[in-house]
Amino acid sequence: MSTISEHASPAATIVQPVRVQTPFRRFLSDFFDSKVAIAAIVTFAIILFIALFAPWISPQNPYDLMVVDVMNSRMRPGEKSLTGMTFLLGSDGAGRDMLSAIFYGLRTSLGVGVMSGLIALCIGMSVGLSAAYFGGRTDSLIMRVVDLQLSFPAILIALILLSILGKGVDKIIIALVIAQWAYYARTVRASALVERRKEYIEAATCLALSHRRIVLRHLLPNVLPPLIVVGTLQTAHAISLEATLSFLGVGLPQTEPSLGLLISNGFEYMLSGKYWISFFPGVALLVTIVSINLVGDQLRDVLNPRLER
Amino acid sequence: MKLLKMTVAALAAAMLALPVAVSAAGELTIGLASEPSSIDPHFHNLGPNNAVARVMFDRLIMPDDKQQLRPGLAVSWNPIDDTTWEFKLRKGVKFHDGSPFTADDVVFTFQRAPNVEGSPSSFGTYLKGKEVTRIDDHTVHIKTERPYPLMPNDMSTFSIVSRKHGEGATTPDYNSGKATIGTGAYKFVEYLPGDRIVLERNETYWGDKPEWTQVTMKAIKSGPSRVAALLAGDVDMIEQTPTADIERLKSDPNLTLSQGISNRVIYLHLDHDRAASPFVKGKDGGDIKNPLQDQRVRLAISQAINRDAIVSRVMEDIAIKAGQLLPEGFFGRSGKLQPVAYDPNQAKRNLSEAGYGDGFKLTIHGPNDRYINDSKIAEAVAQMLTRVGIQTDVVTMPRSVYFKRASRGGPDGTPEFSFILVGWGSGTGEASSPLKSLIHTYDKSRGFGASNRGRYSNAKVDTLIEDALATVDDAKRQALLAEATEIAINDVAIIPLHYQVNTWAARKGIKYRARTDEATVATDVISE
Amino acid sequence: MSVFITRRVLQSLVVIFVMSLLVFFGVNIVGDPIDMLINPEADQEDIEAAIRALGLDRPIHEQYWYFLVNALKGDLGKSFIFAEPALKLILQRMPATLELAFTAMLMAIFLGIPLGVYAGLRPNSKVSKTIMAGSILGFSLPTFWVGLMFIMIFAVMLGWLPSTGRGDTTSLFGIQVSFLTWDGLRHLLLPALNLALFKISLVIRLARAGTREVALQDYIKFARAKGLSSSRVVLVHIMKNIMIPVVTVLGLELGGVIAFAVVTETVFAWPGMGKLLIDSIQLLDRPIIVAYLMITVLMFVVINLVVDILYSLLDPRVRLKDVKS
């Protein structure tokens, strides 16, 4: 798709260097067409940064019992602690700085959401690709299992699993993975089925390339776009689900509060006017989920061939 | 489409324009913090169950709001010899269906109460070893093997049911209302599990005329939702007002708050028994000899805790710091004990002296839905201990899991934890209850130390307690109980933190006679 | 047609059977079933009698047989806390949950579809953009947070609606329902809206996407060219064609709504079976957890079966494909 300058004189055929519009670059330009998407991705980048570097940028380590003092509890945003530190967003019932708690909470929430999403994606992808590629009996069997799992709501699966496994970061990741992998499997299988019938796969088969090579090098890259969309939206969903589970009391233990736990702990102070203990974590959770969803939305619009653009 | 939208909007406007439902005059709606697990008064010796049973069924002796014993279905009780008490029953009392109350009903109750099928925690504790005989229609004798001065206290704990309706009735029969015929101030109307219990006034009640024509009790577990329900006018009164909201509610001109100290002490129980305690480790994580067995370490822990801070910051001033097992005004208390003063430096010195100058690691376990602000108290304690060098972790869990593990979760059904946050409310309103269950050496066959999860054992204290339980003379018994308490507290058998103060909030015009036994009983709700 | 139905029914039975196997073995693997099914507070004699009654002293395949037979009889154990049959407790509370779930679905349909179609027809208008922005929020906001905010704003601050619980109920065909009374409706509004918000957003987006696709199709252009009125084009042609995917999704989501009612019931203290489940998890009342699982398995399988059948009735392509096989 390159354009070549037409007004070349026979004597000096100057070929202007032009920008090649690869599909990827086109994708990027389409994506960044929307101001909302730009804002969303910037926001998410900030949140990611906070989550990764929380221990270094937080004013206080909210889990260090030497530093947290119950005498500082329930201070308003902007008040100072006994040691002179300013609680920018106030402090909670145990004396923890809300800003630090939110940073660490984001770290936990995002960590759990992304981690479980990635693992579920890998599992779902392998299963979906195998089902689509090998077809026949394998496909039938696998899809039965996937359909079975999909007919049960994620929250129910997570609740039952957690009631059995108990509390803990690893346990909640396991529960979220089990609740989610089937979505990925179904999506991958659907697009893989479409791709599989295309000629380039036929060609690769004729060339007697190994199954693994066909699947990984040819099938997979073309299946990726819808997978990315689903992945993004699912991650947001996983974060929301984890917050809900923590709120219900079956999620993370008290010592590793995620945003959901902070919100539920803080709710009892809402009516007495100490809104900041529940409100700010709520806003943080909201912004995180909304930004991820907006990015996923835009991705889906951009990658959907059926919409006129 | 437009029509649809308009219709929806009109409906919404119409609904919102309707006045907020307010209880009709004479009707009372109470928001409870937990749901009773059954309407059967003998099924489960549990707070909410008892609160509901209390207004439908009477007891032989009725404790008032200060846990003073008042005549109920029994008008007088006296020991006629060393091991026999005579109870004279009230005449002219009718059950809700009109049938007369007689000694037969008492005898039947004694048979039924300890033997309810599937009971998670039965009333057998109060009836074990007591034999009841009917003397005439309105007299019974109750015999025990040894002298039992606490007979009246025990008789104030369970409901008397009708033999006519109770014979052969099962728990589901009580839940459906079929067998729920009592002598109490209110009659059963309906029970919608998970939703509400509705009662109506017993017009022929033998006691003070019940105030309300109808009482509805709803369970609203979440504290903020309960307060929201009160503020929105969905209920007239709530119990267990969260401490976070008390200040705001106090200044609300439409509400009245009623507060009262409870008989419940919140304390820490330590592992006295094991040489190597599972949740006590060295600073490096390795096993160490159990430091909690050294009295100096225990005292240091007690001194490291800033009780004033807990009361003011965690309990928001809705508690009273404690130095022993019962607050002022209760029988069996020691006049000499004061709450241990906050002294972290002295605590550190004690630790050094005991050889733990570097401190050690500890895990505190506690419930998160049983006592007021329980998980927050555990966190605060952990903070304070960490500051004197005892690095403390906090693990909290829902009460059913917690108590099961705390009592039996270890190997061979022994207590699992090393350092726990618990509470004890004296059901009998005096000191023998906590002493017997928490401090006395664990002895299952004789029923001692049932909640002594630290397995504290002190022979001298044991003797004092056992003597007190058999001493009928009040003054002597008071002295014995006080002495037992003093020895145990000075030996730091347990570390008392504070006594709970309970708050009931109601709309203006309703007051609650705050009860020390923490129960929310409809007959104590009075309109001004 | 009937081949299709028979096949699906058989498949459903297989699913139920497999799930019962999973649940049974799950209960056995996780812990001692004696602890699971017998009240730990019972004394030794009672425990032994219960063990014999439940067949727990027999080899495992016999135990499963006992479990299956009991389940078919409707006996799934007695709650530790309430001492009533677990199944009875759940069925008692089911009407409340179903009432909530169905109201939420109705809201999703009657609010979501019109809004979504509008947004799809005029994608660039300000109203559309607001609707879409709203749908993103509705999609992203965690249900429990929205519920708490609803209570704060509508019940406490404005005082328009009640904050917790279910309203007055009346009996309809022997079942207690609350939507026939004003008080009941007032109590139903906030929880149902809370539960529905996520689905409304979903439906809006689905309807919008569907409308956008369908509106570009040739047959719509033809209908317009023919001179059909705008409303007829929309109501008859566009709606019908987006109905199928929307209704299918909704049908499948019904199970999700019933399950997710757990959250709404907790926040609003709505006396449904979701709240019972959460309480039972907290209190370790395992017979109720097992019974809840079995009932929901049954329910979801039936729902999926019904949706499949309806779908085959609605979509001629599925019917034809089936005839061929």
CB contact under 8 A, C84 and B175: yes
Beta bridge partners of B269: B420, B494
CB-CB neighbours of B518 under 10 Å: 18
- Each as own residue / partner, the long-range contacts of residues C219-223 (CB below 8 Å, 24 or more positions apart, any chain) are none
Instruction: Give the Cα separation of B2 and C114 in Å (integer).
Output: 9
Look at A151 and B434; give whichever has higher pLDDT. Answer: B434
Is residue B19 over pLDDT 60? Answer: no
Confidence of residue B480 (pLDDT cuts 50, 70, 90): very high
Query: How many C-alpha atoms does C220 have within 13 Å on its Cβ side?
Result: 20
Give residues with Cβ within 8 angstroms of C56, minimum separation 6.
C33, C34, C37, C50, C63
| Type of residue found at C243 | M
> What average pLDDT does range A40-55 have in this prediction?
90
Residues of C in contact with A240 (CB under 8 A): 140, 142
Range with the largest mean pLDDT of B124-133, B185-194, B404-413: B185-194
Give me the residue label for tokens 């028979």: C6
Is B106 in contact with B132 (CB distance < 8 Å)? yes
Contact A74, A92 (CB under 8 A): yes
Q: What pLDDT shows up at residue A304?
A: 67
Check CB contact of B308 with chain A, cutoff 8 Å.
no
Number of H helices, E strands in chain C: 15, 2
CA-CA distances (angstroms) from residue B198 to B47, B229, B239, C182? 18, 18, 17, 20
Closest alpha carbon to B112 in B123, B100, B103, B121: B123
Instruction: State whether C260 and A286 contact (CB < 8 Å).
Output: no
Mean pLDDT of chain B: 87
pLDDT at B95: 92
Q: What would the pLDDT profile of A188-224 be if each residue is shown by its tens digit?
A: 888 888 777 788 878 887 887 777 777 777 777 778 8
Question: What φ, ψ does residue A44 adopt, rounded to 5°?
Answer: -65, -40
Residues of C in contact with A37 (CB under 8 A): none
User: A204-213, B40-49, B69-78: which range is least confident on average?
Assistant: A204-213
Strand partners, B216: B29, B198
Q: Given an 8 Å threshold on Cβ–Cβ distance, is C283 in contact with B400? A: yes
**Model confidence pLDDT, tens digit, residues A94-145:** 888 889 999 998 998 898 989 999 999 999 988 888 888 787 888 888 887 8
Contact, B394 vs A255, CB < 8 A?
Answer: yes
Alpha-carbon gap, residue C229 to C238, rounded angstroms = 13
User: Once rounded to an integer, what is the mean pLDDT over residues B241-257?
Assistant: 90
Task: Please give the pLDDT value at position A144.
Answer: 79
- Any B CB within 8 A of C268 CB: yes
Q: Which residues of A touch B310 (CB under 8 A)?
A: 70
In the prediction, which pLDDT does B15 show?
47
The DSSP output letter for A208 is T
Closest-CA distance, A272 to chain B, in angstroms, reads: 5
Q: Using DSSP bridges, classify how beta strands B360-367 and B390-397 pair: parallel, antiparallel or unpaired.
A: parallel
B167: contact with C, CB 8 A cutoff:
no
Q: What number of CA atoms fall less than 13 Å from residue B39's CA on the CB side?
A: 28
* Rounded CA Rg of chain B: 25
Q: What residues of chain A lie within 8 A of the CB of C213, using their CB? A: 306-307
Predicted-complex ipTM score = 0.77
- For residue A97, give Cα distances in angstroms to A50, A74, A254, A282, B244: 16, 9, 16, 15, 18
Instruction: Spell out the per-residue pLDDT of chain C, length 325, in tens.
Output: 677 778 777 877 777 777 777 777 766 665 555 665 555 555 566 667 666 666 667 777 777 777 778 777 777 777 777 778 888 888 888 989 999 999 998 898 888 888 888 888 888 888 888 888 888 888 888 888 888 888 888 887 787 888 888 877 777 777 778 778 888 888 899 999 999 998 898 888 888 877 877 777 777 777 778 877 777 776 777 777 777 777 777 777 888 888 889 889 988 888 889 888 888 877 777 778 878 888 887 888 788 778 777 777 766 665 555 554 4
Report the DSSP pairing between strands B255-270 and B419-425.
antiparallel
Q: Say if residue A62's pLDDT is above 90.
A: no
Distance CA B425, CA B402 (A): 17
Reduced DSSP (H G I as helix, E B as strand, rest coil) percent helix, strand, coil of chain B, to 5 = 35, 25, 40
Structure tokens at B498: 């504070």
The residues pairing with B143 across neighbouring beta strands, listed in sequence order, are: B84, B131
Give pLDDT, residue B351. Answer: 93
DSSP codes, C145-196: HHHHHHIIIIIIIS--S--SS----EEETTEEESTTSHHHHHHHHHHHHHHH
Q: Return the pLDDT at A8.
A: 47
Residue pLDDT, tens place only, B129-183: 889 999 999 999 999 888 888 888 889 888 999 999 888 888 888 888 888 999 9
Confidence of residue B419 (pLDDT cuts 50, 70, 90): very high
> CA B215, B219, B220: angle at the middle one, nearest 5?
125
* Cα–Cα distance, C207 to B286 (Å, whole number): 62
A36 vs C90, higher pLDDT? C90
Contacts of B387 in chain A (CB under 8 A): 65-66
Contact B229 C268 (CB under 8 A): no
Nearest to A148 among C15, C213, C252 (CB): C15
Q: Alpha helices, DSSP H only, in B342-494?
A: 344-353, 374-387, 399-408, 432-434, 459-470, 474-490
Distance (Å, whole) CA A146 – CA B394: 40
Which of B153, B132, B129 is CA-nearest to residue B86?
Answer: B132
- Bridge partner residues of B77 (DSSP): B87
B18 touches chain C (CB under 8 A): yes
Average pLDDT over residues B473-494: 92
Locate tokens 């550190």: which residue?
A: B348
Residue of C nearest to B2 (CA): C114
B383-B389-B390-B394 Cα dihedral, nearest 10 degrees? 30
pLDDT at B23: 54
- The residues with which B361 forms a beta bridge, in sequence order, are B281, B391
Q: Which residues of B touch A94 (CB under 8 A)?
A: 376, 379-380, 383
Summarize chain A as % helix, strand, coil (round to 5): 70, 0, 30
Identify the pLDDT of residue B141: 93
Residues A268-283 pLDDT 10s: 787 777 888 888 888 8
Indicate the pLDDT class of residue B499, thresholds 50, 70 and 90: very high
Longest dimension (CA), chain C: 84
Which partners does chain A have (≥3 C-beta pairs < 8 Å)?
Answer: B, C
Q: Is B138 left (phi over 0), alpha (psi -120 to 50) or beta?
A: alpha
How would DSSP label each residue in B195-234? TEEEEEE-TT-SSSPPS-SEEEEEE--SHHHHHHHHHHTS
Three-state DSSP state, B81: strand
Phi-psi region at B177: left, alpha or beta (left = phi > 0; alpha = psi -120 to 50)? left
Give the β-pairing of B319-321 and B255-270: unpaired
Q: How far is Cα B96 from Cα B12, in angstroms, rounded to an integer?
A: 44
Strands (E), chain C: 170-172, 175-177
A61, A247 contact by CB (below 8 A)? no
How far, rounded to the nearest angstrom, does the alpha carbon of residue B53 sit from its chain's CA centroid? Answer: 15
Alpha helices per DSSP H over B187-242: 223-232
Length of chain A measured in residues: 309
Check if the beta carbon of residue B441 is closer than 8 Å to that of residue B528.
Answer: no
Taking an 8 Å cut-off on Cβ atoms, the answer to whether A66 and B387 are in contact is yes
List B residues 315-374 in contact with C (Cβ-Cβ < 8 A): 369
Cβ neighbors of B274 (< 8 A, separation 6 or more) are B290, B418
For B287, the token pair is: 């096993």
When pLDDT is cut at 50, 70 and 90, the band that residue B5 belongs to is low
- What are the backbone dihedrals phi and psi of residue B135, each rounded to the nearest 5 degrees, phi first? -100, -50
**pLDDT at A252 exceeding the cut of 90:** no
Cβ within 8 Å of residue B479, ≥6 positions away:
none
Q: Is C270 helix (H, G, I), strand (E, B) or coil?
A: coil
Residue A219 contacts residue A135 (beta carbons within 8 Å): no
pLDDT score at C43: 57
Greatest CA span in chain A, whole angstroms?
86
Q: Do B18 and C155 touch (CB under 8 A)?
A: no
The residue in chain B having the minimum alpha-carbon distance to the alpha carbon of residue A268 is B224
Across the interface, do B228 and C151 touch by the CB < 8 Å criterion?
A: yes
Q: Which helix (H) or strand (E) holds B133?
A: strand B131-136
Q: Which residues of A touch C148 (CB under 8 A)?
A: 267, 270, 278
> What DSSP state is assigned to residue B360?
E
Residue B471 pLDDT grade (very low, low, confident, very high; cuts 50, 70, 90): confident
Cα separation, B343 vs B359, in Å, equals: 16
pLDDT at B18 over 70: no
Q: Which residues pair with B88 in a beta bridge?
A: B76, B139
**Of the candidates B347, B349, B381, B375, the residue with the CA atom closest to the CA atom of residue B362:** B381
Q: A48 CB contacts (<8 Å, ≥6 apart)?
A: A110
For A150, which residue in chain C has the nearest alpha carbon? C252
- The pLDDT of residue A305: 60
Q: How many residue pairs from chains B and C have C-beta atoms closer than 8 A?
A: 117
